[in-house]
Amino acid sequence: MIGLAPPGVPLHLLCVGAHPDDIEIGCGGTLLGLAGRPATTVTGLVLTGTVDRRKEAEDALPQFFPGASVRVLDLPDGRLPAHWDAVKDALEEAADEWRPTIVMAPRADDAHQDHRLLGGLVSTVWRDALILHYEIPKWDGDLRTPNVYVPLTDDVARRKVELLHRCFPSQVHRDWWDDELFTGLLRIRGVESRTRYAEGFSSAKLVLDLETRSGG
């Protein structure tokens, strides 16, 4: 087990999502677990969103991590590959503005074309950050075995599911959106990491810094 960073060392998490709710489904428990950690900031970047869904995204992330800020763009949902230049420009502009320690984004092999595009581009834009690719369950059945796990307490796991329902009322009618799905995946990842609940991520490259640093 490896700690994310020594206490007091600054952490800036940049969470990238194709759609409102991607970030919270994929890494909401991790954000809840980090809430209150000193010297930690969270920024969200969401590429698509109607007016109503934009409001959901803007309100949701600070519920998972108080003080988080989020920027929601209006690129077309389900059509991001056809807008490759605009997506790359948006990520490059974000990279010019932010120097995150960790980037959380969808998997590069996600079955959804919007997720897949983001997952592939983040590693070409942020070359010096730890990139953790989160997972989003869906009817395509594209889940893979993670190689990074973040254990969650029982309270954090319950809180994540409660907030998903509260923050995204536009989605609760969907047949796959329920407690069993969200809690069940957390439980499976918990079993795999010898804990009760966990979120799973994949990382293609991890650099271990053996020197102790007081800042970053």
Residues 6+ apart with CB under 8 A from 85: none
C-beta separation of 58 from 17 below 8 A = no
Query: Which domains, from first to last, does the chain contain?
Result: 11-202 (3.40.50.10320)
pLDDT tier at 1, thresholds 50, 70, 90 = low
Residue 214 has a pLDDT of: 47
183 three-class SS: helix
Q: How far is CA 134 from CA 83, 201, 202, 209, 216, in A?
A: 23, 5, 7, 23, 24
If one compares 158 and 209, the residue with the highest pLDDT of the two is 158
Residue 206 has a pLDDT of: 87
Evaluate if residue 8 carries a pLDDT over 80.
no
Residue 213 has a pLDDT of: 53
C-beta separation of 65 from 95 below 8 A = no
Residue 68 has a pLDDT of: 98
Evaluate if residue 82 carries a pLDDT over 70.
yes
Evaluate if residue 11 carries a pLDDT over 50.
yes
Residue 48 has a pLDDT of: 97
* Model pLDDT for residues 45-81, shown as the tens digit of each residue: 999 999 889 999 999 999 999 999 999 999 999 999 9
Residue 216 has a pLDDT of: 41
Half-sphere CA count of 81, side-chain side, radius 13 A: 11
* Model pLDDT for residues 27-47, shown as the tens digit of each residue: 999 999 999 999 999 999 999
